[in-house]
Amino acid sequence: MFHRLEVSVLPPGFRWAAQLQVRINGEEVVAEAVGEGGRGPFAKEALPADGHGPLWATGEGRRVVLGEPECTGGCCGYLSVFVQRHGGMVEWSDWQVPVGKVRPPAFHFHAAQYDAELIRALTDRRWQVYRSD
């Protein structure tokens, strides 16, 4: 069974720049693992205009940092996952989590849905235009 990835961008706030919200099968995975006050990946880094973001899955896997707790990743550890493409499947596995947090299971995505979701998120640049009052 394949899982379903959803990526959206949260608007910038008082403390953080615009950041990604990552849902798998409708469940937010970053916020739960980093806790209240933590942050997900910054949209500018995760969805760069040139399209070469860290979430793109290739045959050569890589570790991707998805967030850090309020006390910083250097203190309590980062939320990260190993992302790799295996033919028509993208795998997220070998999670590393902040101290005291539960490690998510491995997730497997249909590569076409995964790629389509990243392209959709990448081309929706509304987060770059915001009003500050």
Burial of residue 98 (CB within 10 Å: 0-12, 13-18, 19+) is: buried
Q: What is the pLDDT along the chain (133 residues), one digit of tens a residue?
A: 899 999 988 877 777 788 888 999 999 988 888 877 777 888 888 888 787 889 999 999 999 999 888 776 677 888 999 999 999 999 999 999 988 888 999 999 999 999 999 999 888 776 666 544 4
Tokens of 27: 């469940």
Phi, psi of 56 (to 5 degrees): -65, 130
- What is the pTM (predicted TM-score) of this model? 0.87
